[in-house]
Amino acid sequence: MTKNSIHNLEEIASQVRRDIVRMVHACQSGHPGGSLGCTELLVSLYFEVMDRKEGFDVDGIGEDLFFLSNGHISPVFYSVLGRSGYFPVEELATFRKINSRVQGHPTTHEGLPGIRISSGSLGQGLSVAIGAAQAKKLNSDDSFIFVLMGDGELQEGQIWEAALYAPHNKMDNLIAIVDYNGAQIDGPTAEILSLGNLRGKWEAFGWNVLDIERGNHMQSVVNGLYKAKELSGNGRPTVILLHTEMGHGVDFMMGSHKWHGVAPNDDQLASALGQNRESLGDY
């Protein structure tokens, strides 16, 4: 610690939350719930924990890399990338518009700096991250690979094939993060398809497992991510169970799966903006 004070990171998070609701409102489409829930995580990664190089190089040699597997939470990803300087923040105004580089789900086709994979089809990001982690090992590159998955996404079978592979190959440069909000598009994960003892499952597959109990508390998230980095070198990949709240930071969206993929109307936007101060300037 630290490149940024916790206060500065919280100021950035407030702006990112404004960006998220404004983007989704402007096109009346998109996914605010998971985006708001993962705001502290993405801000912590890009503004504090990841060792990044200036500019964007798709090979990512000698720098920490992040892969978003649950691509539908693109609003938070685009906002953080823009605010980090990968592209002009004004481009956020084109979210989900025809010919925009800022599409509903990230793809490499648009050539948007910061985007390393297409995602949206769930279950694939961990496998991609493993490939990148293995490449770093082979190249004696000691930087880290981060990947974020939704908890509902863990219902995809490919996740568990990948979960088996990483410990066998001693990928201790890999940090997987589960957005453990207990909710998915159709309802609580416990009702749709229960994840059961999630810590026990990952441990049984040979992973270090870290819980971040307060996934919307900046200091807790920063501490947890640094702790995950410290665990490297023990031959095991690490998974973080990040306990978040869907819709966090906007009172009428918090704690409900109903805002997974719904846009706010004009009055709701005004209310959401009233709850999150403009710290860096709206795009």
**Between residues 31 and 101, which has the closer beta carbon with respect to Mg ion?**
31
- For residue 210, give the H/E element and its range: strand 208-212
Give residues with Cβ within 8 angstroms of 138, minimum separation 6: none
Q: Encoding tokens for residue 149?
A: 């998955």
- Decide if residue 152 touches Mg ion (CB under 5 A): yes
Please work out, in degrees rounded to the nearest 5, the angle formed at the alpha carbon of residue 211 by the alpha carbons of 205 and 217.
150
Residue 55, CB-side half-sphere exposure with 13 Å CA sphere:
4
Please work out, in degrees rounded to the nearest 5, the angle formed at the alpha carbon of residue 237 by the alpha carbons of 235 and 242.
145
Contact flags string 163-182 toward Mg ion, x per CB under 5 A: ------------------x-
Minimal distance in Å, beta carbon 125 to Mg ion?
14
Minimal distance in Å, beta carbon 260 to Mg ion?
8
261, 33 Cβ separation under 8 angstroms: yes
Minimal distance in Å, beta carbon 180 to Mg ion?
7
Judged by CB under 5 A, the stretch of 12-20, 146-154, 205-213, 274-282 that binds Mg ion is: 146-154
Q: How far apart are CA 95 and CA 89, in angstroms?
A: 11
Give residues with Cβ within 8 angstroms of 140, minimum separation 6: none
Minimal distance in Å, beta carbon 151 to Mg ion?
4
Q: Site for Mg ion (CB under 5 A): which residue of 19, 40, 151, 172?
A: 151
- Decide if residue 215 touches Mg ion (CB under 5 A): no
Q: How far apart are CA 155 and CA 70, in angstroms?
A: 12
**Between residues 44 and 181, which has the closer beta carbon with respect to Mg ion?**
181
- Decide if residue 150 touches Mg ion (CB under 5 A): yes
**Between residues 181 and 268, which has the closer beta carbon with respect to Mg ion?**
181
* Cα distance from N-terminal residue to C-terminal residue, the chain: 29
- DSSP H stretches of helix in 139-217: 157-168, 189-192, 198-204
- Decide if residue 123 touches Mg ion (CB under 5 A): no
> What are residue 280's phi and psi, to 5 degrees?
-105, -10
Minimal distance in Å, beta carbon 231 to Mg ion?
24
Minimal distance in Å, beta carbon 181 to Mg ion?
4
Contact flags string 263-282 toward Mg ion, x per CB under 5 A: --------------------
Q: Encoding tokens for residue 214?
A: 């307060």
- Decide if residue 156 touches Mg ion (CB under 5 A): no
* Positions in 217-246 near Mg ion (CB under 5 A): none
**Between residues 22 and 257, which has the closer beta carbon with respect to Mg ion?**
257
Minimal distance in Å, beta carbon 177 to Mg ion?
12
- Which residues contribute to the site for Mg ion (CB under 5 A)? 150-152, 181, 183-184
